[in-house]
Structure 1
């Protein structure tokens, strides 16, 4: 395992989230132990996003190398020299200085305390983050470009991965470097094309902006760089949802067609006196709809399965997922309507 494999998510270690810490917060090494972060495969062979763990280990190495806290080192040696006066890791007590994070359907939540700050958790402003992006472009144009080079065995549905940053090679020959940051209640995006010295940063305080940041990156690329900058993984998810919509639509049309044919042949008839089956079908459909809603639009699944609060599955779905809901409503309505028809015995 090396710093290179840790920063390119090919280190072979187990991933970890940053949810559920209680005061007093653990140290970085205590956090790595409590999350049971360990090697699970040979390093350098497979890309597997390790959430906070990989950069959490890098954070620990930096602390041992500079003999000070990672957060203090970043503030004194990175943020202050770059003029990032409103950037720090002091995010556990807002004191009115921070935006309120929102999860799910605009539910205000507390700021999640972060221990593995090497992998995220920095609090900043759009102006300060823009200064950081400007410095990255300067490093690209005047440095050795080491962090921008795609690393071995990092190919995945999300594309290639460099050292902590994602290169997107466009059809017009340009390369845009970008990365998204997501934590419950927050979404951020930065992207830049260093040759033309164009870049963008987005900071949001809502889970529901998960796909908006990618959409804005696409529009920025189209207008400024001359081509959409598309996150291939997000495209795959949207395509998968579209395929589900098409499949459900075909199932619904098939069910309707079969019923119409049976009605014309009088092999089924509408019964009006006995409505028990009709009511039972309605109860079952509404019960399934309630279960579906609980799984998709409440935090119940994440609480039960992962003991994670304020996570809602619907925020990870693209906008076209609304089509799935519409088709399911039609299918449910059809099932209730179909239950009023019975086989004609005569």
Structure 2
């Protein structure tokens, strides 16, 4: 094992040297900590280094939290995966197909318009040039950006990654629980897993030991924070802050059925819709196959100044968490570790 750890350290160090990795790499083999290390600065101006308990934004990596929240409502019998959107909310969506279900929203197959379509827009920052980021503190604040637009395709026709669909799922959680979405997730997921350092924090009121997200200009070597490049507070489609150990607790809580029944956990983890090649999607989670068996479950997130990958390799018993406060690094680390494995 000691030899393995030395080899793994070389693998990660090489990625750090090539990408300027800024973040944390945390890896467990079953209950044993196989590797943990922190790199770069949480605050560049003050030269405060990242550490194992630094909080990082994870962008879309937290769509899984929203999916778990919905599945908890299914477990309680409050709704089902076949419940129609039209029967969940009293919000007007005049041009949406009435056959859209919870299942469609969870699997990015609803066909509804997105407020940020990644096939049509490359730069998330472009959204906020005419709409101040500081106005987006609640899920309903996103509605004017998509609720009156027309369908892109028929529900269930195909997979097409969709942020607005998860905004809608968050609104359903609020409607069915009577709680603000972020309060529900913190109470019913984070607290139940012991994720005491994680939460949905406002960019203008970040707690101590939270990494600022940094956007680098490769042309002249300058940088800036992402304070004006993402919504001021995260929600159902992205933007939570987690520590690497807390994300590990999330995985353990999910696979140990601490958050959902075994039946609902298995439904969440099913490869429900084909994406491309050996890539599939379950409920809020990516699933990759190799030789017709599941190689890994994973989540990922990218925002200006944020990148995040976290994976579970069921046959190997390995769990990996790589958050970063830069726009690159976690993918490269994950790929290198998979090659090493």
Equivalent-residue separation in structure 1 for 2:279 and 2:288 (angstroms): 8
* Distance in 1 of aligned mates of 2:183 and 2:326: 28
In the TM superposition, residue 214 of structure 1 has moved relative to its aligned partner by: 2.1
Counterpart residue number, 1:31:
142
Give the alignment partner of residue 151 of structure 1, picking from 264, 267, 272: 272
RMSD of aligned alpha carbons: 2.6
State the structure with bigger RCO (CA 8 A, min sep 6), 1 or 2: 2
Normalized against structure 2, the TM-score is what?
0.58
1:177 matched to 2:177: no
1:166-205 per-position Cα deviation (integer Å, ceiling 9, x unaligned): 1111239452111211111000101002354321000000
Equivalent position of 2:202 in the other structure = 91
Q: Please give the residue correspondences for 1:101-116 in structure 2 after superposition, counting only pairs within 5 Å.
A: 101-105=213-217, 107-111=223-227, 112-114=230-232
Return the alpha-carbon distance in structure 1 between the equivalents of residues 261 and 141 of structure 2. 39
Q: Which residue of 2 aligns with 1:100?
A: 212
CA distance in 2: counterparts of 1:114 and 1:4, whole angstroms: 29
TM-score relative to the length of structure 1: 0.57
Which has more helix, going by share of residues? 1
SS in 1 for 2:134: coil
CA distance in 2, matches of 1:82, 1:122: 15
2:330 matched residue in structure 1: 213
- The answer to whether the 8 Å contact 2:226/2:304 transfers is no
Counterpart for residue 40 of structure 1:
152
In structure 2, the residue matched to 1:248 is none
5+ residue gaps, structure 1, are 225-346
CA contact (8 A) 2:137 2:234 kept: no
Aligned to 1:59: 170
Give distance in 2, aligned partners of 1:27 and 1:142: 29
Question: What does residue 8 of structure 1 align with?
Answer: 107
With over 3 angstroms needed to count, the CA separation of the structure-2 counterparts of 1:64 and 1:115, relative to structure 1, is: farther
Q: Which moved more, 1:167-176 or 1:116-125?
A: 167-176
Q: Which residue of 2 aligns with 1:133?
A: 251
Tell me the CA shift for residue 130 of structure 1. Answer: 1.1
CA apart distance, 1:11:
0.5
**Structure 2 CA distance for partners of 1:2 and 1:149, relative to 1, 3 Å:** same
Q: How does 1:154-303 map to 2 (within 5 A)?
A: 154-156=274-276, 159-171=279-291, 173-207=293-327, 209=328, 212-224=329-341
SS of 1:155's partner is strand
More strand as a share of residues: 2
Matched positions, count: 219
Stretches of structure 2 that go unaligned for 5 or more consecutive residues are 1-99, 117-123
**1:119 and 1:37 mapped to 2: Cα distance?**
19
